Amino acid sequence: MKITGKVWKFGDNINTDLILPMKIYFLTPQEQTRYVFEANRPGWADEVEAGDIIIGGRNFGMGSSRPAARSLKNLGIGCLLADSINGLFYRNCVNWGFPALEIPGVDAAFDEGDTAEISFDDFGVRNVTTGAHLDGIAMPDQLLKIFKAGGIYPLLEAQGLIAPPA
Amino acid sequence: MGMTIIEKILARASGAAKVSPGDLVSVRVDTVVMFDNNFLPNIWREILKLDDPKKLVVVFDHRVPASDIPSAISHQNGRRFVEKFSIERFHDVGPKQGICHVLVADHAYALPGTVLVCSDSHTCSAGAFNCAARGVGAPDIMYAATKGETWYRVGETVRYQLEGALSPAVSMKDVFLHIAETYGEHTNTNVEYGGPALSNLSINARRTLATMSAELSAEFATFEADEVLLDYVRARNPAPFEAQAPDADAKYADVRTIKLDEMEPLVALPDTVLNNSRPVAEVAGERIDQAFIGSCANGTLDDLTVAAKVVAGRRVSPKVRLIVTPGSQTIYREAVSKGIIATLIEAGAVITNPTCGACSGGHLGVLGPNETCITASTRNFKGRMGDPSARIFMASPATVAASALKGAIADPSEFLR
Ligand code: SF4
């Protein structure tokens, strides 16, 4: 599986309240996407295009367990790359079937607007604009399986453990 | 090479002789805690089969009593779920109400050496009980409740060795701010707390540090078990358990000594607690509109007690709203019977019912544009407690209470000799 897209950069310690603020907690998942990064980058959710890629620095997604990864997925983001990803946020990427990879050094290797090409076969990323290549941290098979099923809900639904969406 | 506390708990729960950093482990889950957000219409999926209803605890806490229609619907969904599976450990609005992590402590639902999952990020609170507990996602809860298991990536562990004792105006919140200021984020790393100072620390004090460890972006935060803890648990929960101690040759990414005697009151500046705190004297005089004492980290009886001590016989500044939220009805009742609530009210504090409330900006004390708040809760992210232009400073309950009196950020030392 390969993903190619235009890069947007966000830096270190991006938190979940910035991605999914409390004031829109009750909106539908699709409506919630309009508010992604509203506090730190107003208007961005309208500018970003389907397939674009987010690059963070260290500790991306720190904060709450809220389904912020679902908002990035529903906004059409192609992939999240970061030097390191908060453990809870990483789980939620897997849970919601949203592509995310930890790639030490990725923040420094890209400028905003560069094009990134990511492979989920060898977990590497290429900066198409500069030609640089970096190795990411592999996603274990067990998690890859959940991720490829589209996340936990489709998996549990197929096993008859939870009901389909009401 | 031996194992750290968390490695030993995860090894036992996964049936392996040994686990090491880098492993991905599947573990049996002992306790599943669900709360009102799990039942919100935009996330809830009806569960058709449970692994074991006895493992479940259901709590309504984020917005109680229901503050709006979606919350009311989440409570209805939750009550239907509890009834369908005859779940006994249920904390509805009423006499057993409280914040989930506080209830886990009040009732010792988190047993030493076991695995507890809850999809709130401050679940590491139960790490004070020598329990493998950390925040997971809402879908993880569905997985754990229906299949009785979950997965963890095993990270390296940093050990914090606590020595000495705190002086009266300093609390474990200040110790946390010191750690966050000095060492920054701990992404993908576990933290382990232990050392000779443990015997000087109440369970509540330990819980503050364990709970706040979520803000280090740590994976698991786990305390050593001592007799104080074991007695506390045995007095509240008859179930058997086996506490886990680190091996003598456990491998740590780092061992850091924290001398409690050297700690001082600190204040985190707005937006983050990572590398962002100052001694209270450097921020003193900063005018505030609201002061908040509450949350799963600082709504304990110890916290209300120290706040009452600071404000006793004095008046909260007429320009400040001091909001105090006990962590549970049990704490609230005790604080009433000890006269703590009366002292706080006399001084001008507003006491709310136990709930997350102002901590998450969901209801009760939401901040308006450009307001300034000092909070003894868990997070000071931009927009966390209301409008994104509001500034949120974070400090201990003592510092928050002292600031409420002065109308500006203030050192609590003069009130707590
Ligand atoms: S009190 Fe605050 S940090 Fe604790 S569970 Fe509630 S919202 Fe989360």
- Tens-digit pLDDT profile for residues A32-58: 999 999 989 999 999 999 999 999 999
Say if the Cβ atoms of B187 and A59 lie within 8 Å. yes
Residue B353 belongs to what domain range?
A: 268-415
Q: Structure tokens of B295?
A: 């949350």
Q: Which of A25, A29, A152 sits opposite B139 (nearest CB)?
A: A152
**pLDDT above 70 coverage of chain B, percent:** 100
Same domain assignment for residues B237 and B313? no
Within 10 A of B1 (CB to CB), how many other CB atoms are there? 8
Name the DSSP class of A52.
-
Residues of chain A with pLDDT under 50: none
Please indicate whether, in this complex, the C-beta atoms of A26 and B185 are within 8 angstroms of each other.
Answer: no
B272 plus B361 within the same structural domain? yes
Same-domain pairing of B173 and B201: yes
Cα–ligand 1 centroid distance for A130 (angstroms):
44
Q: Which of A99, A92, A96, A102 is nearest to A59 (CA)?
A: A102
Listed by number, the residues of chain A in 104-143 with a beta carbon closer than 8 Å to a beta carbon of chain B are 140, 142-143
Cα B203 to Cα A3: distance, rounded to the nearest angstrom = 49
- Residue B316 burial by Cβ neighbours in a 10 Å radius (0-12, 13-18, 19+): buried
User: pLDDT for B347-399, tens place per residue?
Assistant: 999 999 999 999 999 899 999 999 999 999 999 999 899 999 999 999 999 99
Q: Residues B292, B356: one domain?
A: yes
Please report the pLDDT score of residue A166 as a whole number: 78
Domain count across chain B: 2
Rounded to 5 degrees, φ, ψ at B33 are: -105, 125
d(CA B149, CA B51): 9
Residues of A in contact with B381 (CB under 8 A): 15, 17-18, 63
Half-sphere exposure of B148 (CA within 13 A, CB side): 10
Q: Over range B332-342, report the average pLDDT.
A: 98
Residue B362: per-residue pLDDT: 84
Q: How many residues does chain B have?
A: 417
Q: Tell me: do B352 and B381 sit in the same domain.
A: yes
By most ligand atoms within 8 Å of CB, the mutation choice from B101, B353, B381, B392 for ligand 1 is B101
Alpha carbons B220 and B246: distance in angstroms, whole number: 14
Q: How far is CA B271 from the centre of its chain?
A: 19
Q: Summarize pLDDT for B244-267 with one digit per residue, the tens.
A: 999 999 999 999 999 999 999 999
Provide the pLDDT for residue B177.
98
Dihedral sign (CA A103, A120, B139, B192): negative
Are both B81 and B104 inside the same structural domain?
yes
Task: For chain A, give every domain's residue range.
Answer: 2-158
Average per-residue pLDDT for chain B? 97
Of B68, B121, B155, the CB nearest to A88: B121
Mean pLDDT within B88-110: 98
**CATH classification of the domain holding B47:** 3.30.499.10
CATH of A2-158, one of 3.40.50.1220, 3.20.19.10, 3.90.1150.10, 1.20.1070.10: 3.20.19.10
Measured in residues, chain A has a length of 166
DSSP A155: H
State the SS3 of chain B. Answer: CECCHHHHHHHHHHCCCCCCCCCEEEEECCEEEEEHHHHCCCCCCCECCCCCHHHEEEECCCCCCCCCHHHHHHHHHHHHHHHHCCCCCEECCCCCCECHHHHHHHCCCCCCCCEEEECCHHHHHHHHHCCEEEECCHHHHHHHHHHCEEEEECCEEEEEEEECCCCCCCCHHHHHHHHHHHHCCCCCEEEEEECHHHHHCCHHHHHHHHHHHHHHCCCCEEECCCHHHHHHHHCCCCCCCCCCCCCCCECCCEEEEEEHHHCCCEEECCCCCCCCEEEHHHHCCCECCEEEECHHHHCCHHHHHHHHHHHCCCCCCCCCEEEECCCEHHHHHHHHHCCHHHHHHHHCCEECCCCCHHHHCCCCCCECCCCEEEEECCCCCCCCCECCCCEEEECCHHHHHHHHHHCECCCCHHHCC
**List of E strands, chain A:** 2-11, 53-56, 79-82, 100-102, 115-119, 124-127, 133-135
Assess whether the C-beta atom of B298 lies below 6 angstroms from ligand 1: no
Q: Are B169 and B153 in contact (CB under 8 A)?
A: no
* Cα B20 from Cα B92, distance rounded (Å): 40
Residue B309's pLDDT band (boundaries 50, 70, 90)?
very high
Residue type, A97: G
Whether residue B184 sits in one domain with residue B38: yes
Going by alpha carbons, the residue nearest to atom 6 of ligand 1 is B356
Average pLDDT over residues B280-300: 98
Q: pLDDT digit string (tens) for B38-51?
A: 999 999 999 999 99
- Residue corresponding to tokens 């101690």: B245
CA A6 to ligand 1 center in whole angstroms: 36
Query: Which of A68, A159, A63, A69 shows the shortest CA–CA distance to B142?
Result: A159
Q: Could you tell me if the CB of B378 is within 6 A of ligand 1? A: yes
Taking contacts as CB-CB distances below 8 angstroms, the residues of chain B near A26 are 40, 42, 68, 70
Structure tokens at B14: 């996964």
Same domain, B142 and B178: yes
Same domain, B37 and B165: yes
What is the reported pLDDT for A55? 98
How high is the ipTM of this complex? 0.90
pLDDT at A165: 87
- Residue A1 is predicted with a pLDDT of 86
- B/e letters for B140-170, b = 16+ CB within 10 Å, e = fewer, are bbbbbbbbbbbbbbbbbbbbbebebebbebb
Calpha distance A98→B18 (Å, rounded): 31
Phi, psi angle pair for B66, to nearest 5°? -45, 130
Residue A125 identity: V
Q: Are B303 and B399 found together in one domain?
A: yes
Mean pLDDT of B191-220: 97
CB atoms within 10 A of CB B237: 15
**Strand-by-strand arrangement of the B156-163 sheet:** B221-223, B189-194, B156-163, B254-259
**How distant, in Å, are the alpha carbons of A120, B77, B87 from that of A73?**
17, 26, 34
Contacting residues of A for B143, CB less than 8 Å apart:
152, 156
Contacts of A150 in chain B (CB under 8 A): none
**Ligand 1: does its nearest atom lie under 6 Å from the Cβ of B122?**
yes
| Percentage of chain B lying above the pLDDT 90 cut | 98
Question: What SS3 class is residue A30?
Answer: helix
- What phi and psi values does residue B252 have, to the nearest 5 degrees? -110, 150
Distance of alpha carbon B150 from alpha carbon B161, whole angstroms: 30
How many Cβ atoms are within 10 Å of A143's Cβ, its own excluded?
18
Chain A, chain B: beta-carbon pairs less than 8 Å apart:
138
SS3 assignment, position A28: coil
Distance (Å, whole) CA B205 – CA B203: 5
